[in-house]
Structure 1
């Protein structure tokens, strides 16, 4: 799988992947919080550096956003979960930041097993998300 830098033209597809993935894995979000977070993500995407992995059909299947050693976002289209796209993006993140950090939602049942199976260990927990909403986060670091 080839990881490539995203362009402005890739942002709508990345946003659709984010929406589809969140709708499939974050059923715990209230409709109001889901809408508010969607607006924040749209603003975030306007300036974020995207890394993408394309699917067999040539369309982006997932994306990664890094901030230094922090994996800010790693999402894969739920239609292609389990096909290695997330692992490919994570491996790319580790080439950029060998001691990567990531915050995973405690309530999203797919996130923690994904990261822990790939060498991340828990280093902390927050009761809320960065905006103070009641969505606990598990803080993880890659240890190999």
Structure 2
């Protein structure tokens, strides 16, 4: 199944679909944050965050399944469609980013245990604890080098 996936740089016409993947995956992964918060940030994701990032997506002939957004050496976002999580798509995206960067860092909610474990499994280490000012949720700053 993995061999049918390709990675390419996203274009602005992909942003609506990527925003939906971001929204659905965010609601699923962050049940400790109100769904309204994610709804309120959809326009910002589409109009501001995705355009300012270097975005790569995973697709096959018919669908987009996930994406990674880089701002310099920071992973600003990495999301996989909820129904396809656990199939290696996130690892594919991380490996692509590792191939074009010497080091990477990201912030992840401490309560999002599955994501913390995933990042550890692909070589990231916790280097600091921080607080997301908007959601008031604790985060880990994680780094790979």
Q: What TM-score range do you get, normalising by the shorter chain?
A: 0.7 to 0.9
TM-score between the two structures when normalised by the length of structure 2: 0.87
Structural RMSD (CA): 1.6
Structure 2 residue aligned with 1:102: 106
TM-score between the two structures when normalised by the length of structure 1: 0.88
| Number of equivalences | 140
Select which of 45, 52, 59 maps to 1:54.
59
Structure 1 gaps, min length 5 = none
Structure 1 residue aligned with 2:42: 38
Where does 1:16-95 land on structure 2 (aligned, <5 Å)? 16-42=20-46, 43-55=48-60, 58-95=62-99
Residues 30, 69 of structure 1: alpha-carbon distance in 2 compared, 3 angstrom cutoff: same
Question: d(CA) in 2 for partners of 1:102 and 1:52?
Answer: 18
Residues 45, 36 of structure 1: alpha-carbon distance in 2 compared, 3 angstrom cutoff: same
Three-state SS of the structure 1 residue aligned to 2:137 is coil
Which 10-residue stretch deviates more, 106-115 or 82-91? Answer: 106-115
Structure 2 gaps, min length 5 = none
Question: d(CA) in 1 for partners of 2:103 and 2:95?
Answer: 12
Three-state SS of the structure 1 residue aligned to 2:25 is helix
